[in-house]
Structure 1
Amino acid sequence: MTQPATTTRSLPVDDRPLGPALRRGFRGRCPHCGEGRILRGYLKVVPACEVCGEDYTAQRADDGPAYLTILIVGHVIAFLIHLMWSLWQPAPMVMALTLTVTAVGLSLLLLPRVKGAFVALQWSRRMHGFSKA
């Protein structure tokens, strides 16, 4: 019995895998080396990685991180509204204050992480000026 002939197609090698890049960016690290910081201060993207020299001047995160942060926080808060009212039925003022503090805190926590992930996504997919080698 003979084996059927198989053809091997060479698949393109992904030298910038998306998963590790997003994880590194979410942690605030360089998506290329994972060592250098991608943000200076709270939301300012560094011009280049201090460890590997990766250039970040091409990044165009713009309003994407804020939009995604609002989307995530809004869904979490909507779930918490339902949960709090179903379980405890607190006074409206207590509920409003609790959820306001939660929304602000969660937004402040997520925004720089989402921005780092956005820059890492652009780097990984060679968007904008990241298409060079």
Structure 2
Amino acid sequence: MMQDQAHYPTQDPFRTGLAGCCPRCGQGRLFKGFLATRPACSNCGLDFEFADSGDGPAVFVIMLVGFVIVGLVLWVELAFTPPIWLHLVIWLPLTVILALSILRPLKGLMIALQYRNRAAEGRLESDD
């Protein structure tokens, strides 16, 4: 990650990340597609080369959506005992909708937190 060439006020990573904005200036767009990041910010020129959220957002989506859906499935099953086809009709679309709706904001949040905390790949330093 290159050093900032201009002075920008510190942005809240939660506000900028969840909104999909540049973590440095808070104005430019972070994404060019649904999950693909832009090469650089169109407003301040920050290079998004550092942005590698990996599987982090997917893990949080699985945990959050899984907790909600499994809790609701168990409650509905114990309270109403519907047939299995009704479970599939209700819970499969709801799971997909919930997962896709929070995946992009969580990816933006992870990238903004990487920028804020200057997270980088691990390196081994030698005494040479």
TM-score (structure 1 length as normaliser): 0.76
Equivalenced residues, count: 113
Aligned residue in 2 for 1:12: none
Q: Deviations over 1:71-122 (max 9, x none)?
A: 1111111121123224433222101221111111111111111111110110
Which runs of 5 or more structure 2 residues have no equivalent in the other structure? 1-8, 122-128
| Aligned counterpart for 2:112 among listed residues 117, 120, 123 | 120
| Aligned counterpart for 2:84 among listed residues 83, 92, 112 | 92
CA distance in 1, matches of 2:10, 2:73: 40
Which runs of 5 or more structure 1 residues have no equivalent in the other structure? 1-14
Amino acid at match of 2:49: T
CA contact (8 A) 1:21 1:32 kept: no
- The 5-angstrom pairing of residues 96-115 of structure 1 reads 96-115=88-107
Query: If you compute each CA radius of gyration, which structure gives the higher value, 1 or 2?
Result: 1
CA RMSD after TM alignment: 1.8
Identity of aligned residues (%): 34
Q: 1:21 to 1:88 in 2, by over 3 A?
A: same
TM-score (structure 2 length as normaliser): 0.79
